[in-house]
Chain A
């Protein structure tokens, strides 16, 4: 059996577990739906500020909520891993004569597949609530790319932390990390509307480019200028956090 086959069967286990613990899945669906509804409801007046590129707040919020739901979905893989580490199941995986990388790649692959579920549900809710994908299928594809890329990055973050801390302490760190990365970007308003330190931080935060990539189809037609920085940010993030995850394995094996 090659490494890919091993990774696939570990990813399969991850999906199986997702079906068996609805208490993990339900919040990861409910929370982003709530974000879509509450943020676009409460902050609807913000679109009247100069520099806001959409008329309806939901067009701004929905792509962010989709990306955020993927991020939390990705982090959940790290939480499953904590469970495996504490229960000793991960020892069983380490004992298998398979490449070490496939032990990390498996759950991350699982995150990619499982991110589809909140992505589809949240997107459908948003569209039903009146969001308009002006960029057509290409725009939706860009959102898919952004969300899946973020799922991989978040899974790398979750897996890396899980392997280093090996217990429940990892959980809040995983979530706070995701939360801050998303909200210290253009999550709520565009750069042009921000003021002070947040504008500086959001300009530097790669998540801003990733959101621009996923969001462009809800603002207008897809353009290369809005696409490439996001792709670069995703590639960089995957490289950095993928390494973080794989190195974590070496830490766990000490």
Chain B
């Protein structure tokens, strides 16, 4: 497969997303709105014994990044479904572009957008007083995590797009991502949860990923946290890449 093919197709996928503000504006706006709301409503929760951060805003930075990437990365999948519906996908398949490139370009596009999102969130929230205590190494790690997470979510939605060929179904998968985020420790620390909810959050892999990212922000840079965060998202991205390539193969075999 040619690197040029990936670059030009991922550029198309990025510009496609940017040209549809309804695809990315909510994924930028909603995490910020949630952060503002929750900081106002739950700022005092930091006084509860066991709360891991001194400021709720610091606590919420990781939430915003992960939430934004989750919202944004579904766009690639629903674009892919639109391509399938429009027949553009068939044109790509019949062109000399190697087939996995079609999928990889989408994921590369999602990764670039994820990186941009994470930087924008960190910049805006820092301007409002949040602190990333881990400094530059933490920021770099978080950007890498965001890229891998974008590929993981993007890969899943691309796999759904390839399987169903319907952008509605891809959009409908979005609440599933949202629910898995909400049943993790994304919005509130696991230390303060109790009962069955704590059990669910404790088996949700997103919890561990978010907690490691959060540790880089509220604690400082530790190689162990960084490795853990990267390992979890890399594993998720690997699985979802496999799924999307398999979905591609079965669509091509069927078509």
Contact = CB atoms under 8 A, between A and B. Distances in A.
Let me know if chains A and B touch directly in the complex, using CB atoms closer than 8 Å: yes
A41 B42 contact: no
B234 interface: no
A49 B40 contact: no
B124 interface: no
Interface residues of A, number: 27
Contacts of B37: 183-184, 188, 198
A46 B42 contact: yes
A149 B48 CA distance: 36
A42 B182 contact: yes
Interface string A185-221: 0011100011111110000000000000000000000
- The residue in B40, B43, B182, B192 that gathers the most chain A C-beta atoms within 10 A of its C-beta is B40
B94 interface: no
B193 A44 contact: yes
A45 interface: yes
Nearest to A30: B175
Interface string B18-48: 0000100010000001001111111111011
Contacts of A43: 42, 187-188
Contacts of A189: 41-42
Interface in A13-39: 27, 30-31, 34, 38
Interface in B178-214: 179, 182-183, 187-188, 192-197, 200-201
Contact of B40 (A41, A48, A199): A199
Given A194-B40, A197-B40, A199-B40, A41 B45 contact: no
A88 interface: no
Contacts of B201: 42
Nearest to A46: B45
Nearest to A34: B179
B194 A45 contact: yes
A193 B179 contact: no
B193 A188 contact: no
Nearest to A183: B37
Interface string A71-107: 0000000000000000000000000000000000000
Contact of B47 (A30, A49, A188): A49
B22 A172 contact: yes
B202 to A, nearest CB: 12
Contacts of A27: 175
Interface in B148-193: 175, 179, 182-183, 187-188, 192-193
Nearest to A48: B48
A42 B44 contact: no
Contact of A45 (B179, B182, B193, B200): B193
Nearest to A43: B188
Contacts of B175: 27, 30-31
B40 A38 contact: no
Contacts of A194: 40-41, 43
Nearest to A44: B194
B43 A195 contact: yes
A144 to B, nearest CB: 26
- The residue in A30, A41, A197 that gathers the most chain B C-beta atoms within 10 A of its C-beta is A41
Contacts of B36: 198
B182 A38 contact: yes
Given A193-B41, A195-B40, A41 B195 contact: yes
A34 B47 CA distance: 27
Contacts of B197: 41-42, 44
A131 to B, nearest CB: 15
A183 B40 CA distance: 11
A207 B192 CA distance: 29
Contacts of A199: 40
Nearest to B190: A42
Contacts of B196: 41
Interface of A: 27, 30-31, 34, 38, 41-46, 48-49, 172, 180, 183-184, 187-189, 193-199
27 contacts: A34-B182, A38-B179, A38-B183, A41-B193, A41-B197, A42-B183, A42-B187, A42-B193, A42-B201, A43-B42, A44-B193, A44-B195, A45-B48, A45-B194, A46-B42, A48-B48, A49-B47, A49-B48, A184-B37, A189-B41, A193-B41, A193-B44, A195-B43, A196-B39, A197-B40, A198-B37, A198-B41
List 5 tightest A-B contacts by C-beta distance, closest first.
A198-B40, A41-B197, A45-B192, A195-B43, A188-B41
Given A45-B194, A198-B39, 18 more contacts: A31-B175, A34-B179, A38-B179, A38-B183, A41-B196, A41-B200, A42-B183, A42-B201, A43-B187, A45-B48, A49-B44, A49-B48, A172-B26, A183-B37, A184-B37, A189-B41, A196-B39, A196-B40
